Structure 1
Amino acid sequence: MPLSKKVYRIKCVDEPCEKLAEAIGDRISLLGEYNIRIENNYIIIELYGYESDIKKAWFKIKSLLGVPAKGGKGLAGYRLDYFFRELGATFSPRILVEVLKRRGFVVETGEDASIIYTNAGREIVVDIARRIIELSNNIPKDVKGSSTRYYLVTLGVLTGVSIQELVDKAVELGHIRRDREGLRLAVEWVRGVEEFLKRLKLSNGI
């Protein structure tokens, strides 16, 4: 199979060129030879190798940048590990997916769990990610279990209600119970979020 060369130009819009170029290099470092340079607020990427490797590298770059995915769905692919590095923290992608869906966006996940595809803009995704991290840091120490955290953080992002208020209301609803170790979710977390939101809508507030 013959070797090929492709050259791509990417304009730096939301990120400094140096930071974006470093992220691109990390993403494609195992896929053939490449050269990256910065010129006049553009990143110039030269890819060398087999055509299949070049296609894989370009797909990874597009996923990193949030370029619309193929298929005519108007969805952009976002690599979550890039957001994690940018924001300096991690969280479960399941929370982000659930929040986006309940805000009316289309969300799909691929075979690679580190990528989500959505019609939400990058700024919206980043704002939600920041809020998820902020709320995750405010979870009381006596809250136990990943699903309990998913439930509380998801509701916190969607409702704007404080974590402590959510805990109190969830206990009242029977969604959260206290055992010997602390507060733990007593229902499946997605179903619990659905029920909580329905109750909130009916009562028009907590």
Structure 2
Amino acid sequence: MAPAEVIGGDDARYSRVVFNEITKNAIRQAFEQPGELNINRVNAQQARRFMDRVVGYMVSPLLWKKIARGLSAGRVQSVAVRLVVEREREIKAFVPEEFWEIDANTSTPSGEALPLQVTHQNDKPFRPVNREQTLAAVSLLEKARYSVLEREDKPTSSKPGARLSPQRYNRRPVPGWLWREENHDDGAASV
């Protein structure tokens, strides 16, 4: 799709001027040497604008709550683009490595299930990297006798979430639900 199709009109009617400073001379020189519109650059600008709006609109209210009223996330595109670039570099630099895990489904003398995973051999981390190492380890493990030398029970606790006040309940997003305002007056709400 040609840039003029996006804007609406003839390709020859539109040009692109580029300047790096807002001075009379820089702007004049830019208009003396206009370039062609590049749809890829137009699309990139639209994506940056979208990120500014969506991410900025989401982050600004958080800043108001956590830091100070009136703060704005402002332009977020450079941070977002940097995150995308870093992730893309990680993806390109990724080298897949083969590794194997050894899990054993054992049981106690009373018949209680006791799943185990092999993580160490002779007090050193053990992680087989191919089928041969794994099969050799499994054949040794199948012939061995096992006993529990030490057991550590750790108490666990969980705290209930904060109580749900009417204000927090009303702010809670409910995907797919649309509330009609006119029904709130008589105590009914429709979805």
Normalising by structure 1, what TM-score? 0.22
Structure (1/2) with the larger helix percentage: 1
Larger radius of gyration: 2
Greater strand share, 1 or 2? 1
> Taking structure 2 as the reference length, what is the TM-score of the superposition?
0.24
Higher relative contact order (Cα pairs below 8 Å, separated by 6+ residues): 1
